[in-house]
Structure 1
Amino acid sequence: METISIDIETYSENDLGKCGVYKYVQHPDFDILLFGYAVDGGDVRVVDLASGKTMPEEVLAALSDETVTKWAFNSNFERVCLSEWLRRNHPEFFSSYSVPGDTVGDYLDPRGWKCSMVWSAYMGLPLSLAGAGAVLGLEEQKLKEGKELIRYFCVPCKATKANGGRTRNLPEHDREKWERFRSYNQRDVEVERSIQERLRNFPVPDFVWEEFWLDQEINDRGILLDIDMVENAIRLDGISKDQLLDAMKKITGLENPNSVAQMKQWLSSRGIETESLGKKDAAKMIADRDMDEEVVKALKLRLQLAKSSVKKYQAMRNAVCRDGRARGMFQFLGANRSGRWAGRIIQLQNLPQNHMEDLEQARGLVKNGDYEALAILYDSVPNVLSELIRTAFVAAGGNKFCVADFSSIEARVLSWLAGERWRMDVFVKNGDIYCASASAMFGVPVEKHGRNAELRQKGKIAELALGYGGSVGALKSMGAIEMGLTEEELQPLVDSWRTANPNIVRFWWDVDRAVKKAVKQRKPSVLRGIRFECRNGMLFITLPSGRRLSYVKPRIGENRFGGESVTYEGVGGTKKWERIESYGPKFVENIVQAISRDILCYAIRTLSHCRICAHVHDELIIECQKDASLEAICEQMGRTPLWAEGLVLRADGYETQFYKKD
């Protein structure tokens, strides 16, 4: 046996969507119902485990045999489920890849597994079996009735008189449905194999599979949660919400002041008409000096009530495994255009920042459940809980976190690709790019806490908003007006930044021409180590790392201004598969973010001997012993890959017992 394609159907009382697969399999009632498989491209077989059938021993042995490649669509699900099932039912066939002190011991080694969902993602296809099959136009399509069958057999059911009060549907409760479920399981294996067959001329490079296995190891390891703090944060949030609602009721006299309709009516009765009560609109009304004092108080209370911080704590409670760790937080190649990771479950990629000087004191009060002290010492309990979310992630006893991240990684990559020399010199000297940018834009020296310091903010917002072709609209989206810039200043700011960065501007349109040449003329071209080519209905952009970005069914279209643009099919802003319009600066954004992701991957491989337990954007969180050297970690993380000669990298970090934004 060389390969085996697998699809399983499972049952658990834990909600997979809320808790993730690692917690899902830990429920005592978790079980595998059907095991569909095909060996070495042969016929698909279905083992009906729920009806008492047994798995062939050669298949059981293959599950922990690294020399046999296991294929599945979203193989993380199959691997984690089979890890738990094997340990419970056939421990003699289970073997882990853990070493003493690590926390991956409950799981099969990912190095024996490959994932056709990863392959689909690498080709720019949807991250669902049905979606990938539909885009590829496969003859074998996922059976549409699957969702209904999964609801029937794979999750608890409501007890009714009609079903005899049972809370679970078994095969004997509907034999006809069960036979259809077996067919559904078989079809999924067939579709998964068809995807492999359709994509066989575009294999995933071996180094990307290596990255995937490291990703799976990080997901298996998980990150420890201070669950006492989490539980108290949820409880304190409930107390806070009750008190805020009571205070709003006293001011407004409303039965439910949290209702948008009721609040709008109350404001209208005071002569205030508003389309929205969103955060920005409420803040504008609060800032109005002529606004009635009671209205301001009510709106401030409403903003505190609108804090959704507690949802993160609830997600932590839902996901925490029996050893106190949260697992499965990262989706490999989850970002469709760049191949960056996407967040799952707790969503570490969008945690609120913390700015409190007395973070540790506030954290101690929450951990101890001291609401009275919090309410006395701080203006807003919801704000405190929001700023403390990161601190719920903690290092295990006797260990510490070393948190290291790249400094201005996208600005460095963009400068290197475009050959913007003055910017690269700033990075060589470890200078402040915001000050340097402002200095280049306005022709005067700018120092962070010295001469012309007031210009640094303009340099910063220009750097953040304008690197990928952004203009006045991008500055506004970044909050330029709220930062005190006037409408009249915005276009001159755009012009100044572009004048100061001519090579970057030139690079945008060089990329635009290279893409259009590939799509229109079907001729490949190479620009600064990046290859652009079209073949087999795909646009490929091969990065310096050797990884490819894939764009499905590219063609030349017309943009909203009547000019020529490139369009392709992908997952758009609506989260649906659609035709997307793009142009040079947007492709540059994809390329820069993709290269930044590849650099992070290089750092993960360099530091794979460390216990990386999480990563957030360009930051690694490593759980290590107290004597581990942060300086050595930052030095290793900051090494430039061989394929990025001339790129200047820098990694900085800090040590902590709990995660935070330093």
Structure 2
Amino acid sequence: MQHHLSIDIETYSDQDIGSVGVFKYVDTSAFEILLFAYSYDFGDVKVVDLAQGETIPEQVVKDLYNPDVIKHAYNAAFEITCLNRAGRYTPADQWRCTMIHGMYLGYPAGLARLGKVLGLPEDKQKMSVGKSLISYFCKPCKPTRTNGGRTRNKPYGDPDKWELFKVYNRMDVVTEMEDYKRLQSFPVPQEVQDDWVIDYYINARGIQVDRALVAGALKINEANREELLTRSKALTGLPNPGSRAQLLPWLKEHGADLPDLTKETVKEALKTATGDIREVLDIQSRLAKSSVSKYEALDRATCMDGRIRGTLQYYGAGRTGRWSGRLVQVQNLPHDVPMAIDTARTLVKRGSLEELRLLYGKVSDTLSQLIRSAFIAKPDSVFVVADFSAIEARVLAWLAGEEWRQKVFKDNGDIYCASASAMFKVPVVKHGINGHLRQKGKIAELALGYGGGTNALITMGALKMGLTEDELPGIVHKWREANPNIKAYWYKVEQAAMDAMAKAEAQDIGHGMCFAREANLQYGYDYLTVRLPSGRKLYYPQPMTGPNRFGGEEIRYKTWMGTRWIYNGTYSGKLVENITQAVARDCLATAIRRLAQQGYKPLMHIHDEVVLEVPKAKLHDDELDRVVALMCAPIDWAPGLLLNADGFVSPYYKKD
């Protein structure tokens, strides 16, 4: 007979979990579990005070690795990692994560937030006092004369507060169980659960960091910053020209009235700036290189064995279920690659600022371009990196039945050239006949697939590419004319969603997909759902219809914005974008699952790219071809979807 074991723990570490992640958080001799709260089969909750000598019952310890006992927790990855670190072995595949369950149904992350939006009774919600209690007992404290110079608060220091902390620990289990009770009518599909388990082990496996490169980059960056600030001080006379509050007034006084110092604003101002203003703005742009901060994150979050772990957040994008980045934000790494990358890496490892500047010019740019190569394979292994090509465009063409695009993909053609050719009714060849039109095809492809117009082209950088504003409406018209099935698909999807809202029946949109209205009448939960080809669903909580800003009707659903649970509107193109990106995500999940089943060790994945670590002793000459074949093999739930991938083999990660 299957049983359920709900768990919440409170822990201590001298590491800040928010900046280093859970794996570095437990990777210290200071780590310990303070409290262990548990409940069998959603019954009464018991709290084990480990900090004061109590022990976890032997049966509970056995059940932590008993496959007949399903373990539950909110953000279960934390409990799994902490318990394993403490010697209480428990496999991830026996756990169910209530946080992921909530995110799957379109709810926000955070136990307190989830309880709030689910409308839990006050006595079942997370206690608001928790943050101060965690700060007091779970983190180091500053030694003072008043506290006797201690660096940590123990239970005996404030028994009343400790008893309240035990109540808080107990209530977290109560809240998690109440959340689960309200979510279980809409279960997480088995494949989504399986992918979460794979994701846990990818995060736990981690990826090796080139510590010499990181140390050299930080040393060079510090010296370079000092030089840049010194030069900027000399030009402006300001005590701190890196300060927005000081620099903006100076720029205004000297004829450059900027609203802010964002990357785009400074980049735009540099186009016309001259003299000292230009140099000051150029220095500002180099000082503001956010990618350099990734070296600091790598240095901070790398575990003692030299690997960084926990860089991916499963189901981080609530509307589509795609992954998001954590710690170093691997989903947002620079694309540029320096020339002679091995030479650049050697100079940075040596901390050679002058040589780096002499050979590469702007130091900040070069450091930014090298951040990918800070991820390295173990000495006895290499990376095999494979990336789906144009997967969103392929999925959209397949969903909408745009046959000419499908033929381009089947023939491995250049979609930008083919799009321009279809738009302008002439042959277009890259670097060949009518090659100048390829750029227009490219910007149209990037901006217009989800119902965008001239503003979408501008946002995607059309004007910066040399196109004029007068050209843009024509490009929109020509692209839509060349893609009638995609255009029709936007409205087909929107109409199906509207019909699902109005009728008590599912609305088919092809490829096994449908919109439906689903509800839990007991708690008043209501969803507009989209069943995807994979069987996974997208959820839009508490949907309703209402007027949009153009005078028509739109679908609205509840979503978490900042600090509030509010209504957000959607439309035809956005619905198609959600579906397309969700299907592309499922293709990636299928590829990762296949690779794992074949014994490969995925370390991370970035958008549509998978990074594997393969021992040199097991590396075949055609290893990349094998990986690509696994990724691009036909998918049973997507007959006719044409996938393609390419990649490289390297001792370090890079942009191919």
Per the alignment, residue 229 of structure 2 pairs with 245
Distance 1:275 1:397 in 2: 49
Give the conservation status (yes or no) of the 8 Å contact 2:291–2:333.
no
Residue deviations 1:401-444 (CA, integer Å, cap 9, x gap): 00001110000000000000000000000001111001111111
- Which of 564, 567, 570 is residue 579 of structure 1 equivalent to? 567
Give the conservation status (yes or no) of the 8 Å contact 2:602–2:611.
yes
- Which of 579, 585, 590 is residue 591 of structure 1 equivalent to? 579
Please report how far the alpha carbon of residue 112 of structure 1 lies from its aligned counterpart in structure 2 after TM superposition: 1.6
Please report how far the alpha carbon of residue 276 of structure 1 lies from its aligned counterpart in structure 2 after TM superposition: 2.6
Please report how far the alpha carbon of residue 286 of structure 1 lies from its aligned counterpart in structure 2 after TM superposition: 2.4
Residue deviations 1:574-632 (CA, integer Å, cap 9, x gap): 47432110011101100000000000010011100201001000000000023241111
Please report how far the alpha carbon of residue 557 of structure 1 lies from its aligned counterpart in structure 2 after TM superposition: 1.1
Single out whichever of 553-562 and 293-302 deviates more from structure 2.
Answer: 293-302
2:151 maps to amino acid: T
SS class of match (2:514): strand
Per the alignment, residue 210 of structure 2 pairs with 226
Distance 1:576 1:543 in 2: 29
Question: How many percent identity over aligned positions?
Answer: 48
CA 1:271–1:204: 2 relative to 1, 3 Å: closer
Distance 1:285 1:354 in 2: 22
Residue deviations 1:143-199 (CA, integer Å, cap 9, x gap): 111111111111111222222221111111111111111111111101111111112
SS class of match (2:612): strand
Give the conservation status (yes or no) of the 8 Å contact 2:337–2:370.
no
Give the conservation status (yes or no) of the 8 Å contact 1:336–1:571.
no
- Which of 259, 265, 268 is residue 284 of structure 1 equivalent to? 268
- Which of 426, 430, 433 is residue 444 of structure 1 equivalent to? 426
SS class of match (1:643): coil
Would you say 1:384 and 2:366 are equivalent positions?
yes
Per the alignment, residue 653 of structure 1 pairs with 647
Would you say 1:164 and 2:151 are equivalent positions?
no
TM alignment of 1:561-572, pairs within 5 A: 561-572=550-561
Per the alignment, residue 545 of structure 1 pairs with 534
TM alignment of 1:196-211, pairs within 5 A: 196-211=180-195
Distance 2:389 2:634 in 1: 13
Distance 1:567 1:510 in 2: 18
CA 1:575–1:632: 2 relative to 1, 3 Å: farther
Per the alignment, residue 312 of structure 1 pairs with 294
2:506 maps to amino acid: P
Per the alignment, residue 523 of structure 2 pairs with none
- Which of 351, 355, 378 is residue 333 of structure 2 equivalent to? 351
Distance 1:234 1:136 in 2: 45
Distance 2:67 2:611 in 1: 28
Per the alignment, residue 600 of structure 2 pairs with 610
Per the alignment, residue 494 of structure 2 pairs with 512
Would you say 1:110 and 2:72 are equivalent positions?
no
1:593 maps to amino acid: Q
Give the conservation status (yes or no) of the 8 Å contact 2:311–2:326.
yes
Give the conservation status (yes or no) of the 8 Å contact 1:545–1:598.
yes
Give the conservation status (yes or no) of the 8 Å contact 1:441–1:499.
yes
Per the alignment, residue 98 of structure 1 pairs with none
SS class of match (1:448): coil
Give the conservation status (yes or no) of the 8 Å contact 1:329–1:344.
yes
Residue deviations 1:552-582 (CA, integer Å, cap 9, x gap): 000001111221000000134x474321100
SS class of match (2:120): coil
* TM-score (norm: length of structure 2): 0.96
SS class of match (1:441): helix
Please report how far the alpha carbon of residue 262 of structure 1 lies from its aligned counterpart in structure 2 after TM superposition: 2.7
Would you say 1:412 and 2:394 are equivalent positions?
yes
Give the conservation status (yes or no) of the 8 Å contact 2:505–2:516.
yes
TM alignment of 1:68-147, pairs within 5 A: 68-86=69-87, 94=89, 108-139=90-121, 140-147=124-131
1:267 maps to amino acid: L
SS class of match (1:336): coil
SS class of match (2:604): strand
SS class of match (1:642): coil
Residue deviations 1:211-256 (CA, integer Å, cap 9, x gap): 1111111111111101111111111100000001111122222222
Please report how far the alpha carbon of residue 357 of structure 1 lies from its aligned counterpart in structure 2 after TM superposition: 2.4
Would you say 1:525 and 2:507 are equivalent positions?
yes
Distance 2:631 2:504 in 1: 39
Please report how far the alpha carbon of residue 523 of structure 1 lies from its aligned counterpart in structure 2 after TM superposition: 2.4
Would you say 1:621 and 2:611 are equivalent positions?
yes
1:239 maps to amino acid: A
Give the conservation status (yes or no) of the 8 Å contact 1:116–1:192.
yes
- Which of 300, 320, 327 is residue 338 of structure 1 equivalent to? 320
Single out whichever of 495-504 and 307-316 deviates more from structure 2.
Answer: 307-316
Distance 1:435 1:496 in 2: 14
Please report how far the alpha carbon of residue 17 of structure 1 lies from its aligned counterpart in structure 2 after TM superposition: 0.3
TM alignment of 1:428-439, pairs within 5 A: 428-439=410-421
Would you say 1:275 and 2:259 are equivalent positions?
yes
CA 1:19–1:408: 2 relative to 1, 3 Å: same
Distance 2:231 2:487 in 1: 54
Count of matched residue pairs = 640
- Runs of 4+ in structure 1 deviating by more than 6 angstroms, as ranges, are none
Per the alignment, residue 41 of structure 2 pairs with 40
Per the alignment, residue 427 of structure 1 pairs with 409
Distance 1:33 1:656 in 2: 44
SS class of match (1:527): strand
Please report how far the alpha carbon of residue 125 of structure 1 lies from its aligned counterpart in structure 2 after TM superposition: 0.9
Please report how far the alpha carbon of residue 42 of structure 1 lies from its aligned counterpart in structure 2 after TM superposition: 2.5
Give the conservation status (yes or no) of the 8 Å contact 1:522–1:535.
no
1:400 maps to amino acid: V
SS class of match (2:185): coil
1:178 maps to amino acid: W
Would you say 1:257 and 2:241 are equivalent positions?
yes
CA 1:26–1:335: 2 relative to 1, 3 Å: same
Give the conservation status (yes or no) of the 8 Å contact 1:520–1:555.
no
Per the alignment, residue 97 of structure 1 pairs with none
1:83 maps to amino acid: N
Root mean square deviation of aligned Cα: 1.3
Per the alignment, residue 18 of structure 2 pairs with 17
Gaps of 5+ in 2: 520-525
CA 1:575–1:229: 2 relative to 1, 3 Å: farther
Single out whichever of 447-456 and 384-393 deviates more from structure 2.
Answer: 447-456
Would you say 1:632 and 2:621 are equivalent positions?
no
CA 1:40–1:284: 2 relative to 1, 3 Å: closer
Distance 2:195 2:563 in 1: 26
Please report how far the alpha carbon of residue 280 of structure 1 lies from its aligned counterpart in structure 2 after TM superposition: 2.6
Give the conservation status (yes or no) of the 8 Å contact 1:518–1:534.
yes
TM alignment of 1:146-157, pairs within 5 A: 146-157=130-141
Give the conservation status (yes or no) of the 8 Å contact 2:320–2:538.
yes
Give the conservation status (yes or no) of the 8 Å contact 1:354–1:660.
no
Per the alignment, residue 104 of structure 1 pairs with none
Gaps of 5+ in 1: 87-92, 95-107
Per the alignment, residue 280 of structure 2 pairs with 298
Distance 1:474 1:355 in 2: 28
1:315 maps to amino acid: A
Residue deviations 1:252-287 (CA, integer Å, cap 9, x gap): 222222122332333333333332333333233322
Give the conservation status (yes or no) of the 8 Å contact 2:338–2:370.
no
Distance 1:414 1:624 in 2: 33
Would you say 1:481 and 2:463 are equivalent positions?
yes
Single out whichever of 197-206 and 421-430 deviates more from structure 2.
Answer: 197-206
1:464 maps to amino acid: L
2:652 maps to amino acid: F
Please report how far the alpha carbon of residue 128 of structure 1 lies from its aligned counterpart in structure 2 after TM superposition: 1.1
